[in-house]
Structures are given as C-alpha cells and as structure tokens.
Amino acid sequence: MEFTTEPFDLDEAPPHALVARDVIQGAPLDAVDVGPFGNTAEGDVDAVLTAVDAMLRQSLGAGATRVSLQVNVIGEPGEPREPGEADK
C-alpha cells in the first residue's frame, strides 16, 4: 500500500502525519518505508487492511483533511483470488 496525508507542512511533520506513521510502523507488516512525501508498506492482506483502517481513522481524527491511498494485491502468478478472501 502507499499513502499520503494532507495538509502538508514542509517545516515539520503535522500531528496527523505523525499519527499515521506511528500506526503503520506499529502494525505487523513485512516492510514499511516512511518518507516526507509518501509512505509504503507491504504485508499480509488482513494486516494491511487492519492497518489501513486504523491509519485512516486515527489520522483523520488527528486533523488530516485528505488521505490518498493506493492498495495493490500481489499474489503468486496464476493464483486466483476469491471475493471476500480477506474475511476468511
């Protein structure tokens, strides 16, 4: 997944950005890269969805006015994905 929170502040990270960073860094994800202009994380489907839910709720609660989010599902080649698989 990739995400950014707004509004931006080039002088220091705003509270909503710090909250989003803390949520993602504290989640049980495989790879996390936090940067000033974007953040990425990889992990199990359920861990990513749980982290996204927490990040959205907490960063919006901390003053974010916009969160841009992209989630990609990467599986084994030829591996079919069933609807609702994350709920199993």
| Per-domain residue ranges of the chain | 11-75
What is the model's pLDDT at position 10? 84
Q: The whole model's pTM is what?
A: 0.80
Is the pLDDT at 26 greater than 70? The verdict is yes
Angle between helices 15-26 and 45-61 (to 10 degrees): 160
Interatomic CA distance for residues 13 and 24, integer angstroms:
15
Flag whether pLDDT at 82 surpasses 70: no
Average confidence (pLDDT) over 38-63: 95
14-23, 47-56, 65-74, 76-85: segment of lowest average pLDDT: 76-85
Non-local (6+) Cβ contacts of 32 within 8 A are 24, 25, 39, 40, 41, 42
Higher pLDDT, 81 or 46: 46
